[in-house]
Chain A
Amino acid sequence: MKSTKAIAKLLLTVIISALLLLPVSAFAAENTAPKHTEHIDTTGDGICDIEGCNAALPCTEHTDIDGDGLCDIEGCDKCLTHIDKNSDGKCDRDGCGAKIVVEPVQTTGAKVWESVKIFIIGMIGIFIVVGLIILSIYALNYLINKAQRTKSGEQ
């Protein structure tokens, strides 16, 4: 009994400590982050000009003026239009290699099976809804008759 209470107290202490430590650690993490969060590139070379930073600045608004599928902003060259000529699921452009997600085409068998499932669920669904409507009508009739009998009884 005493040991159980002790274990419970210990567990409670651990839980409360963890809950208290969470915001503390978050605060600490925030305060050890680099002091500036907004990079500035005055020279237009794609690198942050704040002393000691030198972070490469990502281009946020890509523009493809010449229609080659690549961003034309200096230093960006991000692939905007993926090409997969060899159908390997990856973009063929040099330096891109992004995975191209292709929506799977349902086979006839899959479609038929899906529609069989919809048939079963659909018919069950119709019977459930219709069954509830039937019960509601019976309940309505019962309540109305009861109300009328009560009213005529009072009279």
Chain B
Amino acid sequence: MSELISIFENFLNLNIGMVVMWIIGGVLIYLAIAKDMEPTLLLPMGFGTILCNLPLSGAIGEEGPLTVLFNAGIANELFPLLLFIGIGAMIDFEPLLTNPKLLLFGAAAQSGIFITMILASIFFTLPEAASIGIIGAADGPTAIFVANTLLGTDSNITGAIMVAAYSYMALVPVIQPPVIKLVTTKKERQIKMAYSGKPVKKITKILFPIVVTIVAGLFAPQSVALVGFLMFGNLIRACGVLDALSETAQKVLANLITIFLGITVSVQMTADKFLNWTTLLIIALGLFAFIFDTAGGVLFAKLVNLFSKKKINPMIGAAGISAFPMSSRVVHKLGIEEDPSNFLLPHTVGINVSGQIASVIAGGLILNFFG
């Protein structure tokens, strides 16, 4: 009889916080499957949340596999960097290389990081505020890398930062359009832009990642890991002699690391760390980061228009947010809604990839400030 009772003993260790986290995990899984929102990350995160919030869960703790994986790949920032190789291999920088000035829009769209940092500094210490601001990089690996470096693995807010970063990346189609419409007029949204795609030489595509790594590394040495791994992946793609490696990086490596990353970040999402007002505040600040990123890019484009004879559609500035390729498609779709003959995609893709570079540079500069 006592053996029978002992089966139910673990129920005594269950608390309401764990149940709430199950619901949160379930919501993430629902968003991933039913709404197709960043399923590659939200589904593992959702399921991992449930695993970590079962009483006396064997998945976490000193010998728990999730904790082992966390220490092996997230505590030392290895997983985000390996994922960056895959991301770099996926990105085609040709639209950017056709018109390198687009990089400026990517830079402008990182303003949300710093504005959010200012807001967050009211409630948090400066390193914490910077880690929250980096949600605005709209790039999961960068957010994980910077937050872990600045705060360490014992911080109670890294879980909230990771959830905010990945969730808002999936919510770009919801967040950006109202912000864009708020800061632009209908006439501005209808500005047509012609595209004259100049061919880019292969040697340029090969030298580009090397040059970016050197330039960014000289100014922000802390960014060398981030920029370097991203550009390494791109170099594998651009060189043309490593097709097998490029394909492996884009598919096998990226998918493998995504599985580990997604399920392992949930180690930070235990009820005791996650369920507090600070988490809600971080999630709210993360939303501000995306809003200010979008507004920053659009307003910069409007500023350029003041000095430019040939007007640009200011909406394209919003594509400077690093959520690739979603943001470029969102802006292009908005352009078609305003004028079905307006084809903004070539411009927005170029700006979107520039945002990827600029966000990594921003992350490196922030690490430099606090390093």
Contacts and interface: CB of A to CB of B under 8 A. Distances in A.
B366 interface: yes
B365 interface: yes
B369 A130 contact: no
Contacts, number: 102
Interface of B is mostly: helix
Contacts of A127: 104, 107
A11 to B, nearest CB: 43
A115 B216 contact: no
Given A127-B107, A130-B106, A130-B107, A114 B215 contact: no
Contacts of A111: 121-122, 125-126, 129
A73 interface: no
Contacts of A138: 100
Interface in A127-144: 127-134, 136-138, 140-141, 144
Contacts of B111: 119, 123
A44 interface: no
Interface residues of B, number: 40
A98 interface: no
- Residue among B107, B204, B366 with max Cβ neighbours from chain A (10 Å): B107
A32 B30 CA distance: 84
Interface of A is mostly: helix
B129 A125 contact: no
Given A122-B366, A141-B204, A144-B201, A133 B211 contact: yes
B362 interface: yes
B220 interface: yes
Nearest to A134: B100
A126 B362 contact: yes
A140 B212 CA distance: 12
Given A122-B369, A130-B106, A144-B204, 18 more contacts: A111-B126, A111-B129, A114-B121, A116-B118, A118-B117, A119-B114, A122-B365, A127-B104, A128-B219, A129-B215, A130-B103, A130-B357, A130-B358, A133-B100, A133-B212, A134-B104, A136-B211, A136-B212
